[in-house]
Structure formats: structure tokens, C-alpha cells
Amino acid sequence: MKFRKMRFDIDETVPFQWHPDNPAAGLMANAISFIAVGFERYIVLAVKDALKSRITDPELREEAEVFLAQESQHSAAHRRHVNALSASYPGLADVLDEVIGSYEQLYAAADLNFHLAYVANIEASFPPIFSFFIERRDCLYSGDPRVASLFLWHYVEEIEHRSSADIIYQGVVGARRYRLSTVRRTWRHLMAVRDIVIRGFAENVPAADIGMRAEKFGDAVLRNEVRYRLPVLRTALAPAEPQLFRGVSTTRLLQMVGGVVASQLPGRHPKDFPVPDWYHTWMLSYVAGEDMAHYYGTERSGTHG
């Protein structure tokens, strides 16, 4: 694991719908930016508290410090994206405040063991999710390269430190049964934060600028996928919005969902999840000194397959 100093030229010229060929993917990425700022700030609070009071082993401290450095930079990069969107739609600043406030309330309401379990639960789900996103980057991230490159960098580093949250949890708390008991509360909170963001988009950004109705995202996106994939339903019930995972086989989509479910089970370790080939492509390109801030996206800045 390595800390890389990265800077992306995200500013107010980035449109809200930066991926017009797949507006559902553009909306999803924007929502991830808002959630990431709050979640990664929450990670920083928890890991700093653990470093102050519970971590004494030198190797564990080193793991925690590099993890903390990467996550802090992720939060800063996504905040830059959020600030750019808020420049065009000022009400979105209040949405970010609500996301951060939700995590602050959670931090005040629970102890450090829970916070480290929450972080480990969510981080464990990232390898199957982000490997899937990287594999289907042609569908999900072939829009504005400034935004696409930010997200793919983030996903690569999340896969790189995929074991860190689990290692920290095991080193500080160590009770896998307790962690399992927190899974439901963890995901219920995360889905509530997602709903804050989607509602905020619907209230502050015109549907014409999004390319779809934001309020039809969230859980509705899964129902929409089912409509697209089952001929009977597609005929009887026309899909409500653009398809998010178009071109992705149902089998591969179910494998990703299965991977997320399995990631929450005791005895499963994030380090055992295989990394996608393109992860190595990104790493080699970084070492070679390529422009990683415009590494993937539309043809005007080049597309790395």
C-alpha cells in the first residue's frame, strides 16, 4: 500500500451529468461523491481515535496511518467534485452538510468498536463492487475524463487497501461475531445516507440536467434492471428510466451481488478477493508517469482500455 499525491482538475466547468451516454451511471457516481465525503471523514475520525487510544503495535500503526492518508485524500478529491457541482446548484451544499451530519450523529451515538466494525463492513464490500465497476468501465465511466479518472483512481486504491479496515478491526476489536451483528445497522444507515443524497438531487437539480428523474434512482434502479432483463415484464411494464448496467450480463451482475453478500460473512477476508487485470494496468501507468488525472474517459483526452 502506498500514498500517492493526486490532484484532479475538477471545477465548476464539470457538468452535473458528466456521462450523458449513461445518465444513470453519471447520477450514481455523483451520489458516491457526496457519500464518500461523509463516509471517509467518518473513517478518519474512527482510525484517529484508534491510533490515539487502542493501537500500539508498530506494524498495525503503520497500516492504519497509510490507510488514513489514502482515505483522507479520497475525501478531499470527492469534496472538490461536490464543491464543483454545488457551484452550479447551491442547494447541494446543504445536502453535503446533511450527509456529514448523519455521520456525526452516528459517531456520537455509538462506541469505537461499532465504528471500526462499520468501516470494516463497508470496506469489505468494495472489492466485489469496485472490481465490477472497473471491469465495466466502458459502460459506467466513459464520460468526462476528469470525473472518470478520479473515480477509477479511487477504486484502484480501495482495492489496494482492501484488507486494511479488516486488519485494523481485528487488531483493535477482534470479535468477528460482534462485527456480524453490526451488518444490518451498517447498511441501514448507509442506505439512509444514499436516500438523503438522491432526495437532495431531486430537489436541487432539474431533471433535464440529470437526464433522468433522480427520485427514480435508489432502490428503483434495481427494479428497473429487472424490467429490462425479463421479457415478460419489459412488455407489460416499460422500464421507467435509462438502464444503468446495460450490456452487463445478468450472470455477472448476480456474481457481483453475491460477492457483496459473501463479503459480510464471518471467515471471509477481503485480501482473498482477486483483483481485476486493469488494476495492474493502472498501477503500471502511474509508475510510468502517465497523466492519471485524465487517464480514462472520452476520446478528447484519450481512453485507456
Stronger pLDDT, 146 or 229, i.e. the higher one? 146
Q: What gap in Å lies between CA 224 and CA 203, rounded to an integer?
A: 22
Q: What gap in Å lies between CA 132 and CA 285, rounded to an integer?
A: 20
Residue at 251: amino acid letter:
T
Grid look-up 436516500 returns: 195
Q: How confident is the model at residue 150 (pLDDT cuts 50, 70, 90)?
A: very high
Lowest-confidence range among 157-161, 234-238, 258-262?
Answer: 234-238
Q: What is the DSSP code (8-state) at residue 275?
A: P
Distance of CA 99 to the CA centre of its chain: 14
Q: How confident is the model at residue 302 (pLDDT cuts 50, 70, 90)?
A: very low
Lowest-confidence range among 6-15, 93-102, 196-205, 246-255?
Answer: 246-255
Q: Which of 250, 227, 223 has the alpha carbon at shortest distance from 237?
A: 227
Q: Which of 10, 9, 8, 30 has the alpha carbon at shortest distance from 209?
A: 30
Provide the grid cell at 224.
428497473
Q: How confident is the model at residue 301 (pLDDT cuts 50, 70, 90)?
A: very low
CA angle 221, 38, 32 (to 5 degrees): 30
Task: Show Cβ contacts of residue 175 under 8 Å, excluding neighbours closer than 6 positions.
Answer: 113
175-225 pLDDT per residue, tens: 889 999 999 999 999 999 999 999 999 999 999 999 988 876 776 677 777
Q: Which of 241, 267, 194, 161 has the alpha carbon at shortest distance from 34?
A: 194
Grid look-up 447520477 returns: 27
What is the percentage of the chain residues whose pLDDT exceeds 90? 76
Decide if pLDDT at 50 tops 90.
Answer: yes
Provide the grid cell at 43.
473513517
> Which 3 state secondary structure label does DSSP give 79?
helix
Q: What is the DSSP code (8-state) at residue 209?
A: H
> Residue 265, exposed/middle/buried by CB under 10 A (0-12, 13-18, 19+)?
exposed
Position 214 scores a pLDDT of 85
Q: What value does the mean pLDDT take over residues 267-285?
A: 91
Q: What is the mean pLDDT of the chain?
A: 91
CATH architecture group of domain 23-215+244-301: Orthogonal Bundle (1.10)
Decide if pLDDT at 123 tops 90.
Answer: yes
CA angle 228, 234, 239 (to 5 degrees): 60
Q: What gap in Å lies between CA 134 and CA 147, rounded to an integer?
A: 14
Q: What is the DSSP code (8-state) at residue 17?
A: -
Cβ pair 34, 217 in contact under 8 A? no
Q: How confident is the model at residue 300 (pLDDT cuts 50, 70, 90)?
A: very low
Residue 229 vs residues 86, 185, 246, 253: alpha-carbon distances, Å: 35, 31, 10, 11
